[in-house]
Structure 1
Amino acid sequence: MEQSIDRRRCAMKLHVFTHLRPSFSPARLAVTVVFFINGFVFSNWVPRIPAIQQHLGLNTGMLGLALWGIAIGALLSQSLAGWLVTRLSSRMVMRVASLLYCMALPLPALAMDLPTLMLALFALGLTNGLLDVAMNAQGVVVEQGEGHPVFSSFHAAFSGGGLLGAVCGGLLASFGVAPLFHFCLVAVVTMSAALGAARWLLPGRTDIKRGRGRAIFRPSGLLLLLGFMAFCALLGEGTVADWSAVYLQGTLHSSAGLAAGGFAAFSLMMALGRLVGDHLMGVWGPTVLARWVIWRTSRRQRRLRLSRPLATRDFSPVLL
């Protein structure tokens, strides 16, 4: 009698656990893979920035000018990507952009001078911007189909790809592997993964085509606030990605392998925060969670600026 009761209790616990555990559909897995690929590809570029700089004989100012190519390309393509997604579909744009993005990775290693490097980075940023918009649009469609918050897990996969890519890039750099061979190897592997994930993507909604286009010209105050918050977050991420390896290797004289540790540590902490994001979204909701994050970040920012010497205060947003 007692054994039968125990079996029933175990069966009930197993049923409850299975019911509470979120489903992992093929579409969700495919989007997760593409997010991972995006982070993995970009983070393999990060630890090789000092090698490209030394190979072309660029000083800090010239390198900073070349890195503008990524930002300009991403800015232009993200403005175009929304139009493409509404008229084609996030699935189609995502399929094409993921392949083009992987193919663009070896281009910086083929650069011969500053103008060609800037063009190569422009192509990398252009394809990255297209993929960013398309995969986030596809993530919204998948989350609506899942019926519970999963969007933060996609960005956790991006950060996980950034962590693994930085580690792999650092290891290959420490072994003296040429950037061109390194980038071509990554491109082949990630293109294969992107092709495998493409078949499971969802067609996306069609009702978004009827939306009004005035919002892009007359954004509301709330939209401007959210945009400013995203700008601040991406400013810190972009600074770490573009300059952490250069600073660690050029100023602190660390090895090429250890220079990748800055972006790897940053990606690790982002991944940990994003892994709990979906759970907190389900418990608190987006408004309360956003207010709490802003409040905690502002408090930590204030404490950090007061505790650091004056010479290092300008780097406090990056350290956060």
Structure 2
Amino acid sequence: MPAPRPDSTLRRARSSVIVLFVLMGLTTGSWAARIPGVRHQLTVTDAQWGLANLGSTAGSLISLTLVTTLIVRTGPRRLALVGGPLLLINAPLLAGSHSTPALVAGLFTQGIATGLLATPMNAQAVEVERRYGRRIMSSFHACFSLGQLAGGVIGTFAARADVSPSLQLACSGAVLAVVLLLTRRGLPRDTAPLAPLAPFAPPTPHAAVAPDPLSPAPLPPTGTARTVNPPELSARARRITPQLLLLAAVALLSSINEGAASQWSAQYTAGALGAGAAAGAVTYTCFTIAMTISRSTGDRLVNRLGQRRFIRLSEAFVAIGFAVALLVGTPVAAFVGFAVLGLGSGCIVPGVMSLAGNQPGIPTGRGVSVVAFGQWPAMLLGPPLIGVIAGLVGLRFALMILVGAAVCIVVLAGWIRQPAAGDRILAVSR
């Protein structure tokens, strides 16, 4: 039975959550494009820049740790409406840094703001997806990717026009702030029912009047739900279940592959294959475009195949395609291989976030925050690990780690439990 057509309130909620994803993507993309200019005005070395970025790492870790608790107490909507403005306010201040302490402080604040926004906006997306009655999570992440691309393009043109990084980020931040102000009321409210075990099952036609899609859902028919008292709910809400740990492991492995591809794709083609900087840039572009396409179109396949089967087939595709590309070892094979990696990996983290937000008895925000925290070490582990192994056996063979990670995901995904029909825990959720 097809899902009912969403009404205007639900479409407005989806648009409002999309604004959060675009806001984060465009701001981070703009910052990444202006990093060379900021480094030039500070005249810092590679080592100093690397040490300064530990500020962002520390901020993210502190923020993610706090969010795992705060998201249940205050709700994802409130946190997102703190993290988003903080990111916009901090961006031009960070870009205008004229001393190393100011840079470190700005990067630390950026890490805090990113953590306050990333997990809550994913929890909000899970809530909207649940109300839609079909998988749409990847489309939100596609908007983030498009925002990153747009931010990079804007930053490139601004740099060529000799616009200062701080002025560019202040102007784009002002526009995004106005858009956020106009759309904030559409964000799903923080009080909602806990995730049903079958969030995408057809609704039961026992209500005479269609409820507000952003208000708590009506009670299901007798025999399909059970209630829990507050102490039981509190204990279950705090619990980190084996299924959440499994989902966090899948997200970690997929993010390691994404991070390694972002850091090493261009260097592999340009350096290891000796094809030059232009070919290296093409390789990275193939990866990013493929990932954006995957996230823009993947929801249809997920709805058809189911989340678990989709994850296993996608990562099998990555393992085989990327391994063949590395074995062939030509620039064209690299273009194709990293495109395969982008296509196969693009929808994994969004899908895992969706599953985490729909765990029985676990508040949406809590499930998403646990997976986000488990995913966090990926950028720390992936690129450096590839670099160390590349120093021993060469980059081409070091990248085989990405194949191994894909195979591990195929195996782990076999234990993923998809929500089963007919059971629901009713309570207030964050």
Are residues 128 and 265 of structure 1, via their aligned partners in 2, closer, same or farther at CA, if it must alter by over 3 Å?
Answer: farther
**Partner of residue 77, structure 1:** 63
Which stretch shifts more, 128-137 or 60-69? 60-69
Contact 1:39/1:165 (8 A) holds in 2: yes
1:180 is aligned to 2:166: yes
Q: Which one of the candidate residues 283, 299, 307 is aligned to 1:286? A: 307
SS class of match (1:26): helix
Show the 5 A alignment for 1:210-229.
210=234, 211-215=236-240, 222-229=246-253
Alignment partners' CA distance in 2, 1:30 and 1:237: 31
Q: Which has the higher helix share?
A: 1
Note the C-alpha offset of 1:280: 1.0
- Given the alignment, which residue of 103, 123, 127 partners 1:141? 127
The answer to whether residue 68 in structure 2 is matched with residue 44 in structure 1 is: no
Please identify, of 129-138 and 58-67, the stretch whose mean Cα deviation from structure 2 is larger. 58-67
Q: Which moved more, 1:173-182 or 1:293-302?
A: 293-302
Deviation of the 1:207 alpha carbon:
5.2
Pick the aligned partner of 2:54 from 50, 65, 68: 68
Structure 1 residues without counterparts, runs of 5 or longer: 1-17
In structure 1, how many angstroms separate the alpha carbons of the residues matched to 2:54 and 2:254?
18
1:253-284 Cα shifts (integer Å, max 9, x gaps) = 89xxxx99987765433221101111011011
Q: Secondary structure at the match of 1:203?
A: coil
* Alpha-carbon contact 2:323-2:400 (below 8 Å) kept: no
In structure 1, how many angstroms separate the alpha carbons of the residues matched to 2:58 and 2:132?
Answer: 35
Matched, 1:307 2:333: no
**Contact kept? 2:262, 2:284, Cα under 8 Å:** no
2:117 maps to a residue whose letter is L
Give, as a single letter, the amino acid of the residue that structure 2 aligns with 1:179.
P
> Are 2:182 and 1:196 equivalent residues in the alignment?
yes
Match of 2:20 among 34, 58, 61: 34
Measure, in 2, the Cα distance between the counterparts of 1:156 and 1:306: 30
Q: Is the 8 A contact 2:60 2:112 kept in 1?
A: yes
Q: Deviations over 1:57-100 (max 9, x none)?
A: 11222222222322322222122123222111111111121111
CA contact (8 A) 1:97 1:127 kept: yes
Q: Which amino acid aligns with 2:327?
A: L
Pairs within 5 Å for 1:1-320: 25-206=11-192, 210=234, 211-215=236-240, 222-236=246-260, 239=263, 266-308=287-329, 312-313=395-396
Between Structure 1 and Structure 2, how many residues are aligned? 290
Q: Residues of 2 paired with 1:198 and 1:106: CA distance?
A: 22
Q: What RMSD, in angstroms, separates the aligned Cα atoms of the two structures?
A: 3.4
- The structure-2 alpha-carbon separation of the partners of 1:132 and 1:224, relative to structure 1 and needing over 3 Å to count, comes to closer
- Scaled by the length of structure 2, the TM-score of the pair is 0.60
For structure 2, which runs of at least 5 residues remain unmatched after alignment? 195-232, 331-392, 407-430
Cα offset for 1:206? 4.7
Q: 1 CA distance for matches of 2:101 and 2:261?
A: 25
